[in-house]
Structure 1
Amino acid sequence: MKNLFLLLLGPTLMIFIGLQLLENVLITFILFYSWLLLVPLISKGFTIGELVSKDPQRSIRYGILSGGVFFLFIFGGLYWLHPYFIDVEHLQKLLTEWGFSGNGVFGLILVLLIVNPILEEVYWRGFMYTRLKEKVKPIHAIWIASACYTLYHFLSVIPMFQWPLNAIAVLPVFIAGLFWGYMREKTGSIIGTVISHALGDLGIMCVYWFFVK
């Protein structure tokens, strides 16, 4: 159980070390994504092949439909509400300090739309969900994975928003985590969750591009 506890909190620890202690976004990305990539790779008994559905078309269809809903919720919702929730001047300054300006924007796009959805889904809806199901019921595994997945997102948004907006900002993250966990359980695949996740991240990028940049 100690090992499982470390696996659940490891990504949050990487974000905390890189972003809060070292205050370096590049190091944060290296620590965080290295953890998501390497831990499943070096773990015994885990293979990516077991995450691929025997009915990929069904998983892809669910991914596109749900991802479209997430995209509309994020981009459409903030289209109307961003004057109340986003301090554009503060975010512009913060993102510039983090290196997400000029050519750095293209790196951000690459990470959010490709690297992030793949590695996060492999880790949380793949690797961790499988490990948790060995200990608890599937519904409990979904809730635990979603809670730990949400935890480090809260650390990431602390510098972006004032309380309680930072807590409100991660509520959709938790809901999305629950939904993707449910989708993973029903389809037996992470193909759809990766697609849905990527489309949700596309909504975030559109908010940045149209309202913040």
Structure 2
Amino acid sequence: MTKKHMWTIISLTIISCLLMLIIEQGLQTTYFTKTIAKIILFLAVPLFYIRFILKEKILVFLNLKNIDITRLKTGFLFGILSFLIILVAYYVLKDFINAETIISDLKNRLHITPEIYIFIALYITFGNSLLEEFYFRGFIFLKIYQTNHKKLAYVFSAALFAIYHVAIFINWFNIWLIMLALIGLFTVGLIFNWLNTKSNNFLNSWILHILADIAIVAIGFYLYQIT
């Protein structure tokens, strides 16, 4: 991939995340509408760019042919660790988290009711995690990393990942928890990136992401029950 394509990907992904921020917080859309927009911006647009601009085969671009399963064990180990860390962090910080504000935002802004939460939880755990790992790690990090701009690849991908997620729940927490979340997500992004250098694809971070999301949606189930 040329330097020109690298900067195009950086510009394209910044614009996409800004559009998602507008859709998420500015337009106050439902979760379904937001998901459709995310699929277009985080999946359809990158796939179009890979196939018709870069003129590369998708699986080759993502290095998903001839996968070495033994290189994925690191993802499982870090995933289990992240699962435990998230649950412990929630237990420690739960007194500083306003559960009613979170559930109210999910119900009123995103229209996520307890009845459909199980389906949303399944999508978040397996579908959304795949979408984000393809986008932030497969499309952004690894391709920039392979141009030998390794520091830029690490910092840009992790920063965009953190800012995008903080924009989602900016109304849930006070400024100090938001800053803590921003630092935590940036650090997580760096770890995700590092994991994928071990397999040269985004599968390690996807495995970790799945296990982390299992802990998060479990907390969500608990919050719905206590509010």
Following the alignment from structure 1 to structure 2, what is the Cα–Cα distance between the partners of residues 42 and 32?
Answer: 15
1:22 aligns with: 27
- In the alignment, structure 2 segments of 5+ residues that lack a partner are none
Matched, 1:92 2:106: no
CA distance in 1, matches of 2:186, 2:57: 25
Query: Contact conserved, 2:72 with 2:199, CA < 8 A, in 1?
Result: no
Match of residue 163 from structure 1: 175
How far apart, in 1, do the equivalents of 2:12 and 2:138 lie?
Answer: 13
Distance 1:209 1:75 in 2: 13
Determine the C-alpha separation between the residues in 1 that align with 2:94 and 2:65. Answer: 38
Deviations 1:79-100 (A, max 9, x none): 232112x101111211111222
User: Conserved in 1, the CA contact under 8 Å of 2:103 and 2:223?
Assistant: no
Distance in 2, matches of 1:100 and 1:18, equals: 16
Give the alignment's TM-score, normalised by structure 2: 0.84
Are the structure 2 counterparts of residues 143 and 58 from structure 1 closer, same or farther at C-alpha, using a change threshold of 3 Å? farther
In the TM superposition, residue 129 of structure 1 has moved relative to its aligned partner by 2.0
Runs of 4+ that moved beyond 6 A: none
Supply the AA of the counterpart residue of 2:18: L
Following superposition, the deviation at residue 67 of structure 1 comes to 0.5
Cα gap change, 1:72 to 1:205, in 2 (>3 Å): same
Distance in 2, Cα, partners of 1:71 & 1:102: 23
Q: State the percentage of identical aligned residues.
A: 22
Deviations 1:116-158 (A, max 9, x none): 1111111111111243235552233122111111111111111
2:218 paired with 1:206: yes
Specify which of 128, 150, 153 is matched with residue 138 of structure 1: 150
In 1: Cα distance, 2:19 partner to 2:116 partner: 22
**Conserved 8 A contact 2:142-2:201:** no
Aligned to 1:114: 126
8 Å contact from structure 1 (residues 15, 156) kept in 2: no
Residue in structure 1 matched with residue 38 of structure 2 by the alignment:
32
SS of 2:114's equivalent? coil
Superposed CA RMSD: 2.1
Instruction: State which drifts further: 94-103 or 131-140.
Output: 131-140
What code does the residue aligned with 2:200 have? G
TM-score, reference length from structure 1: 0.89
| CA drift at 1:109 | 0.7
* Structure 2 Cα separation of the partners of residues 124 and 91 of structure 1: 26
Gaps of 5+ in 1: none
Look up the match of 2:192: 180
Amino acid across the alignment from 1:114: F
Aligned twin of 2:89: 77
1:41 maps to which of 47, 51, 73 = 47
Tell me how far apart the structure 2 counterparts of residues 141 and 186 of structure 1 sit (CA, whole Å). Answer: 15
CA distance, structure 2, for counterparts of residue 105 and residue 185 of structure 1: 34
Give me the whole-angstrom Cα distance separating, in 2, the residues matched to 1:80 and 1:130.
35
